[in-house]
Amino acid sequence: MSEPPVSRGPAASDAGLTRSLLTGWGRTAATAARVLRPSTVEQVRDALQMVRAGGPAPSRGVAVRGLGRSYGDAAQSAGGTVVDLTGLDAVRDLQVREGDALLTCAAGASLHDLLRLLVPQGWFVPVTPGTRYVTVGGAIAADVHGKNHHRDGSFASHVESLSLLDGRGEAHLIGPQSDPEAFWATAGGMGLTGVIVEATLRLLPVQSSWMLVDTERAANLDDLLDRLSSRDHLYRYSVAWIDCLATGRSAGRGVITRGEHAPADALHGRATARAWAVPSGPLVSLPGPLPAGLLNRASVAAFNEAWFRKAPRHRAGELQPFPRFFHPLDGVGDWNAVYGRRGFLQYQFVVPIQREDTLREVLARLRGARVPSFLAVLKRFGPADPGPLSFPRPGWTLALDIPAGLPGLAGLLDECDLLVAEAGGAVYLAKDSRMRPELLSMMYPRLEEWKGTRDRLDPDRIFRTDLSRRLNL
């Protein structure tokens, strides 16, 4: 089975020298780079060769970009070359054997396209982040996690093998068995070990496109942590939303949603006729950056309150279309413009299971600073995979969006970083746009090991991103 490769833009060879301004999803710290959009692996190779051979600004390096859903500066490279991989999105092969399926696709394929293709055939991607508009390459490079991390681990744990063009232009077929060192440096390696051009993933069988969802409310943080600790293992998917602005006895109150893929015999009502429904594109879009001040503490607090009240105290077995369960924000295109011209950031960290004290303290500081944040996401991670730069590790992860223009934010987050690092936790690089480089080796103790492998794969350091410059990676 295969899809014809689609070409949507100029190929590497005929792209000019004009530069484009790029940012991550948070729309902060724009920088300019020459963007190439190859549509074949050959063209990717040519682009790398051109950078190595001293084409325009070779010292500024080359960055790989997927759908730009990392929040900060991971997929841009000031003054350099950016290879946009979304033109390489063909599905090459789907092999089904005894209830198992292996999918081989180009790294620029999006989870959105894959789900549209796979779900009607009874397969699901093994891990999906909170948006399906990410590429397979981006999902591996950030080793993304989903609501099933406690049970299934992160994205790279489901990758059989991948094909990597390294910094010398050499192609490698690597996997957790063949060259695990290169594989695990690439998983979570933020695009700095080479270009992932193709990957083979193990899929999850499903009997419908629907989810069976249980919802419950938790009155405060203790209650929430208790419920997550004691019952997460009963579900494949689990996540909680915290109202960061609630205070007093309600501090840390939240709503837990957990679910499973609905088996065929669980469908009823309208779900029966639409057992294999898949989403199209976004339904609505924002007109552009909204005026600053629209999101203030009062409006956000009112939203959070209404949202908490709306959630059922307890509801079991609700049928939900999978996009509503996994990707609630994907229905609105470019929703990131809601934060206005200054943009926003997402602060996501993890602390070990026994360090609820740190989680509590960080939440208290955010609350104390009256950070106008919509709901924060809380999840309990399961075991880590072997990637030295991979973010998930056993513990609690919290993620929240914050407007970049909030006064005092830099100092507040620096304090939180310190608490997190001292507790043996980490900040997620795919979300970061501001952390202190000195903390990186504390948060990622195997940083030097990773650098060693990176130096083997990219001895001349042709892969450079604004993130790698900022964090001295």
Partner 1 sequence: MIDALGAPQSVLVLGGTSEIATAVLDRFSAQRLRRVVLAGRDPAALQVIAQRFRSNGVAAVAVETFDAADTDTHESLLDRVWAGGDIDVALLAFGVLGDQRAAEADPGLAVDWARVNYLGGLSLGLGCARRLREQGHGVLVLLSSVAGERARRSNFVYGSAKAGLDALGQGLADALHGSGARVLVVRPGFVKDRMTRGLPIPPLSTTPAQVAEVVTAAIASGRGTVWAPPALRWVMLVLRHVPRALFRRLPI
- Per-residue CA distances from 378 to 222, 250, 375, 456 (Å): 13, 16, 10, 37
Residue 203 burial (10 A CB sphere; 0-12, 13-18, 19+): buried
Of ligand FAD, partner 1, none, which one does residue 342 interact with (CB within 5 to 8 Å by kind)? partner 1
Angstrom distance (rounded) from CA 227 to CA 361: 20
Per the DSSP assignment, residues forming a β-bridge with 35 are: 82
> Least distance (Å) from ligand FAD to the CB of residue 456?
16
> Least distance (Å) from partner 1 to the CB of residue 295?
16
The smaller minimum CB distance to partner 1, of residues 156 and 467, is found at 467
The smaller minimum CB distance to ligand FAD, of residues 251 and 320, is found at 320
Of partner 1, ligand FAD, none, which one does residue 92 interact with (CB within 5 to 8 Å by kind)? none
**Residue 215 is encoded by which pair of tokens?**
């919802």
Q: What does 276-304 look like in DSSP terms, one character per residue? A: T----S-SEE--SPPPTTSS-HHHHHHHH
Of partner 1, ligand FAD, none, which one does residue 78 interact with (CB within 5 to 8 Å by kind)? partner 1
Out of 12, 28, 373, 463, the only residue in the binding site for partner 1 (CB under 8 A) is: 28
| DSSP H or E run through 197 | strand 195-202
Contacts of 230 (CB under 8 A, 6+ apart): none
In degrees and rounded to multiples of 5, residue 364 shows phi and psi of -65, -40
**Alpha helices, DSSP H, located in 311-355:** 322-326
List of E strands, 149-278: 159-165, 171-174, 195-202, 204-205, 210-218, 237-242, 254-261
**Site stretch for partner 1 (CB under 8 A), options 62-70, 124-132, 164-172, 338-346:** 338-346
> Least distance (Å) from ligand FAD to the CB of residue 299?
20
- Applying CB under 6 A, the residues found at the interface with ligand FAD are 25, 63-70, 74-75, 85, 107, 129-131, 134-135, 137-139, 141-142, 144-146, 190-191, 195-196, 329, 430, 465
Parallel, antiparallel, or unpaired for β 426-427 and 284-285? unpaired
The smaller minimum CB distance to partner 1, of residues 82 and 319, is found at 82
The smaller minimum CB distance to ligand FAD, of residues 135 and 267, is found at 135
The alpha carbon of 106 is separated from its chain's Cα centroid by a whole number of angstroms, namely 18
The one-letter amino acid code at 100 reads D
Q: Could you give the maximum distance between any two Cα atoms of the chain, in Å?
A: 63
When asked if residue 174 is in the footprint of partner 1 (CB under 8 A), the reply is: no
Say if residues 76 and 50 touch (Cβ distance below 8 Å): no
> Least distance (Å) from partner 1 to the CB of residue 20?
8
Kindly write out the interface string for residues 44-63 of this chain, putting x where it contacts partner 1 by CB under 8 A and - elsewhere: -------------x--x---
The smaller minimum CB distance to partner 1, of residues 294 and 353, is found at 294
Parallel, antiparallel, or unpaired for β 81-84 and 62-65? parallel
In 10 A of CB 439, how many CB atoms? 18
Q: Which residues of 343-378 are buried (b: 16+ CB within 10 A; e: fewer)?
A: bbbbbbbbbbeebbebbbbbbeebbebebbbbbbbb
> Least distance (Å) from ligand FAD to the CB of residue 234?
21
The alpha carbon of 450 is separated from its chain's Cα centroid by a whole number of angstroms, namely 20
Of partner 1, ligand FAD, none, which one does residue 369 interact with (CB within 5 to 8 Å by kind)? none
Out of 342, 360, 365, 446, the only residue in the binding site for partner 1 (CB under 8 A) is: 342
User: Tell me, what DSSP letter sits at residue 190?
Assistant: T
The smaller minimum CB distance to ligand FAD, of residues 105 and 412, is found at 105
Out of 94, 219, 332, 409, the only residue in the binding site for partner 1 (CB under 8 A) is: 409
Say if residues 132 and 327 touch (Cβ distance below 8 Å): yes
When asked if residue 191 is in the footprint of partner 1 (CB under 8 A), the reply is: no
The smaller minimum CB distance to partner 1, of residues 56 and 368, is found at 56
**Site stretch for partner 1 (CB under 8 A), options 96-104, 179-187, 340-348, 355-363:** 340-348
When asked if residue 294 is in the footprint of partner 1 (CB under 8 A), the reply is: no
Of partner 1, ligand FAD, none, which one does residue 96 interact with (CB within 5 to 8 Å by kind)? none
The alpha carbon of 29 is separated from its chain's Cα centroid by a whole number of angstroms, namely 19
Among 26, 33, 35, 85, which residue's Cα sits nearest to residue 60? Answer: 33
The smaller minimum CB distance to partner 1, of residues 143 and 466, is found at 466
Angle at 105 between CA 40 and CA 120, to 5 degrees: 135
The smaller minimum CB distance to ligand FAD, of residues 105 and 416, is found at 105
Out of 61, 73, 125, 197, the only residue in the binding site for partner 1 (CB under 8 A) is: 73
Of ligand FAD, partner 1, none, which one does residue 436 interact with (CB within 5 to 8 Å by kind)? partner 1
Out of 331, 352, 405, 424, the only residue in the binding site for partner 1 (CB under 8 A) is: 405
The smaller minimum CB distance to ligand FAD, of residues 138 and 323, is found at 138
In 10 A of CB 14, how many CB atoms? 7
The smaller minimum CB distance to partner 1, of residues 10 and 405, is found at 405
List interacting residues with partner 1 (CB under 8 A). Answer: 19, 21, 26, 28-33, 57, 60, 72-73, 77-80, 341-343, 345, 404-405, 409-410, 433-434, 436-437, 466, 469-470
